[in-house]
Amino acid sequence: MRRYVIKRLLSLVGTLLGVSVLIFLMVHLIPGDPATQILGQFATPEAISQMRAKLGLDQPLWQQYMRFVGNLFTGDLGTSLFTGEKVWDQIMNRFPITMQLAILSVIIAAIFGILLGTIAAVKQNTIIDRLVVLTSLLGISAPGFWIALFLIWIFAYKLALFPISGYEGIHSLLLPAITLGMAEAGMIARMTRSSMLEVIKQDYMRTAEAKGAALFRVILSHGLPNAIIPVVTMLGLQFGALMAGAVVVETVFSLQGIGSLAIEAISKRDMPTIQGMVFFMALIFALTNLIVDLIYSRIDPRIHFD
C-alpha cells in the first residue's frame, strides 16, 4: 500500500506540471489586459506599458511560465494584481466555506442517493421504483438556481428557519447544501439502482436469502459492499467538482467561497489569482482520486494495490 501511494504521488507531480501548462495557456487566452483593468480605460499607453513591465507581462510567455512554475515549487501561488494579497491567503480565507458546503452536499447526496437507489432496486418494476427514478430525474434536471430560489422562498422567507443569504454558521449552509445535494443524489440513486440490480442477481445473494437471512441484512451485509464501489467513485468525483466551486449556488446565497472568488478574479482578469486557484483545485481533484482508490481496498478486501 505504501509503495502504491508513493507511486501515485510521484505521478501526481508530472500530472500537475501538465496541468500548469494548460492553466497558464488558457489564462493568457482570456481577452483583455490586466494592466488596463488596473489603471482604467482612460490610462495613457505609456502608463499601461509601465504597468505591464512592473507586472512582468512584457516578458516572453516562456519566461512568465518558468516564473510561475518556479513559484509553485516553493509553494507560492502568486499575488493578486488588485488586492496585493497572496493568492494562497485568499484561497484559505474562502476555502473553509466551500469545504463545509461540499462535505454537507456529499453527505446529503450519499444518504438519500444510496437509500433511494437501494429501495428502487429491491422494488424493481413497482410504483416505488418508478417514483424513485422520476424523482432522481427531476433532481438531475432541475436548474440549481431555481431550486435555490425555491428553497429560499419556502424555508428562509416564509418559514424564516434559515438566513436568506450570507454565512452565519454551519446552519446557513444547509439550504445551499440541499440545493447541490439534490442533483448529486439523483445521479447517485440511478447509479446505486443499476449497480444493486446487478448484485441482486448474483448467486451469493440468493444463497444468503435461502439460508433464511432477513432481506435487510442480506442487502446491508452482502449487497451494498459489492454494489457501492462505482458509487464511491462518483462521490469522489462529485466532491472534487463541488470543491472546485459551486459558482451558481454560492452566488445565489451570497457565500464568500471559492466560487465567488473565481468570479471576481475572472471579471477583473486577475491572472495570478486565476492560475493559483485552478492549480489548487487540480491538486484537490488529484488527491481526492487517490483517497477514493484507497477507500476501495477498505470496502472490498479483494482489491489490493502494489
- What residue ranges do the domains of the chain occupy? 2-73, 87-299
pLDDT in tens, 8-35: 777 777 888 888 888 888 877 777 777 7
Name the pTM for this structure. 0.79
What burial class does residue 295 get, using C-beta atoms within 10 Å of its C-beta: 0-12 exposed, 13-18 middle, 19+ buried? middle
pLDDT in tens, 148-198: 888 888 888 888 788 877 787 788 888 888 888 888 888 888 888 888 888
Calculate the CA 238 to chain-centre distance. 5
Residues 87-299, CATH architecture: Orthogonal Bundle (1.10)
Q: What is the chain's mean pLDDT, rounded?
A: 80
Whether 177 and 104 have beta carbons less than 8 Å apart is answered as yes
